Amino acid sequence: MSLNKPVNVGLIGAGRIGSFHAETIALRLVDANLAAIADPVPGAAEKLAQKLGCPIATTDPMELLANPDIDAVIIATPARFHAGIVEAAAKAGKAIFCEKPMALTVEEADRAIAAAKEAKVVLQVGFNRRWDQAFAEGHTAILNGQVGTPQLLRSLTRDPGPYKGDPAKTPQWTIFFETLIHDFDTLLWLNAGAKPVEVYAIADALIRPDFKDAGHLDTAVVTIRFDNGAMAVAEANFSALYGYDVRGEVFGSAGMITMGDVRRSSMTLFGAQGVSNDTWRLDAHHFVGAYRAQFAAFIKSVGSGETSGPTGEDARAALEIALACIQSIKDKGPVRLI
């Protein structure tokens, strides 16, 4: 395609994060055009399209994929549909951005990767943490040897509380597939070149214990051992009352780096009630720059044909850890990966 015209992007999935991605494409990138929106929920695509001035709204994702004017697609549907739509988009010749997780089984992941390779289309996965300035600078510092050999790593995700989700409508293992999957990718990325060899997970329903028997887990800690000797911890919780808390840390033979901060800024209020900071409350606010950066890279890759962000293989690697966590919970013990 010509690099002189904006990339026509179609969105599949007009839910919360899909709507935010649509705003990023329509309002924050000059070289992209939001050309179509598809969502099977009646009225969802049309409502978002009217808000953003998008000319096409449909309830049929396949109609969007069949449109020859669409250059690239963003897949932001529920996770269980991701891999199948990746395959369909690849067969339609579209460049693909897929929200995490790209798949829920290794077999699905392999088919999605193979479809993109066969069609020779870009496949980028939405691990937005890599595009955050602090995490990106930390990654560069590690590659430059500034912390020496990584020995201890940590990544955490604590969603803002109070928890308002409906456990009855939350897919089982969401904490591993959709929350900690970010942390798994982050740890693999920060410990670049190393492979995980053992995973041990513990999890419980501490926020909504009444749903534990239904399989809803809302708090988890995972330990990962790598083949370079490094040890990592990932943790998640669905209800941090103080805000949206995402942080990372790498301790090595020559030093340490920390990344992420729940505080919105370094401004601190000293008042009669004590000392306080305002905190992030939504992922869309915390990572607005990172979300824009990941789509800027994706749009650029549509023209170059080379994926510059997290790949299908990266998504598969994080998925393997998530699946090992589930097996570890079932077995009540560590799971070997190699």
User: Which tens digit of pLDDT belongs to each residue from 47-58?
Assistant: 999 999 999 999
Chain segment 260-304, per-residue pLDDT in tens: 999 999 999 999 999 999 999 988 888 999 999 999 999 999 999
- Stated pTM of the model: 0.95
For the chain, percent of residues with pLDDT exceeding 90: 94
Q: Provide the mean pLDDT of the chain.
A: 96
Dist CA 128 CA 9 (whole Å): 19
Of the candidates 234, 201, 242, the one whose C-alpha atom is nearest the C-alpha of residue 334 is 201
For the chain, percent of residues with pLDDT exceeding 70: 99
CATH of domain 132-286+318-336: 3.30.360.10
pLDDT > 70? residue 1: no
**Does 132-286+318-336 match 7-129+290-311 at the fold level?**
no
pLDDT > 80? residue 256: yes
Quick one: the chain helix, strand, coil %, rounded to 5?
A: 40, 25, 35
Beta-carbon-side half-sphere exposure of residue 192 (alpha carbons within 13 Å): 14
Dist CA 319 CA 337 (whole Å): 12
- What pLDDT shows up at residue 3? 52
At the topology level, CATH places domain 7-129+290-311 in: Rossmann fold (3.40.50)
Chain segment 7-65, per-residue pLDDT in tens: 999 999 999 999 999 999 999 999 999 999 999 999 999 999 999 999 999 999 999 99
- What pLDDT shows up at residue 2? 47
Q: Are 251 and 148 in contact (CB under 8 A)?
A: no
Q: Is 313 helix (H, G, I), strand (E, B) or coil?
A: helix
Sorted by where each begins, the domain ranges of the chain are 7-129+290-311, 132-286+318-336
Q: Which residues pair with 279 in a beta bridge?
A: 263
Residues in Cβ contact with 182 at an 8 Å cutoff, skipping those fewer than 6 apart: 100, 127, 128, 129, 155, 157, 246
176: how many CB neighbours lie within 10 A of its CB? 29
Treating both helix axes as pointing N-terminal to C-terminal, what angle do 180-190 and 312-331 enclose, rounded to 10 degrees? Answer: 120
Chain segment 86-144, per-residue pLDDT in tens: 999 999 999 999 999 999 999 999 999 999 999 999 999 999 999 999 999 999 999 99
Phi then psi dihedrals of residue 239, to 5 deg: -150, 80
